[in-house]
Amino acid sequence: MRHPVILLTPVLTGLLLPACKGPQGPVVTTTSTPSAPSWIDNEEFADGLGAVGIAQPNAMGDKSLQRTTAIADARTRLAGKMKVRVQNMFSQLNQQVTTAASDGGKPIKNDVMNRVVENVTRQLTDQELAGTSLRATWTDPKDGTLYVQVVLAREAMDAALAGTARAALRQEIAQGEQALDGALDKLDAAIAASR
């Protein structure tokens, strides 16, 4: 009778101890390596926009090429996030201007807003991706995969977003889109709301 209790004790201890360890950091799922840093799956940070790039080892064993590939991957992902941020900002802006238009102003045409979004996205991506910085790197010891975290400071991104959006709106206003005139006044609030 004692043997089953003795045999069960290690099993129960093995089941209960993990639950007693206390709060754990975020679980990393991108790689199965237990020592992987948490930023691989949690790439965002409070003071900016971040993205993780991944590159497998190449046949030549060229670490520089692997690093360049990982950084390019991260920047591509960051560009996608920036596009979403621009779209969110213009969605907020469009709501504010549409609300103002219901009080007697002119509504903004969808094709005009789409053109402004695309222009701002393209210009912002071209300008700001050059201003990104490499925040962290990690190589998986199991398979040699390189992970890099590329970041863009929120202050720099907001300033660039505001400047690029103002320029695009002014260009459309100069071409006769007077409905956008009120958008310039509401731009800062839209940028803040898009975070």
- Cα Rg for the chain, rounded, in angstroms? 25
Residue 61, classed as helix, strand or coil, is coil
Query: Could you tell me the domains of the chain?
Result: 43-193 (3.10.129)
**129 near 78, Cβ under 8 Å?**
yes
- pLDDT value, residue 53: 95
- pLDDT value, residue 187: 79
List, in sequence order, the alpha helices (H) in the chain. Answer: 2-16, 63-101, 110-128, 154-174, 183-193
- pLDDT value, residue 30: 66
Angstrom distance (rounded) from CA 40 to CA 53? 9
Angstrom distance (rounded) from CA 32 to CA 4? 35
Instruction: Spell out the per-residue pLDDT of the chain, length 195, in tens.
Output: 444 444 333 333 333 333 333 333 444 556 777 888 988 988 777 788 899 999 999 999 899 999 999 999 998 898 888 888 888 888 888 777 766 555 555 666 777 777 888 888 878 777 666 678 899 999 999 999 999 999 988 888 888 888 888 888 888 888 777 667 677 777 778 888 877
Is the whole model's pTM more than 0.75, yes or no?
no
Query: CB-based contacts of 45: which residues, under 8 Å, 6+ apart?
Result: 135, 151
Helices 63-101 and 183-193: crossing angle, nearest 10°?
Answer: 130
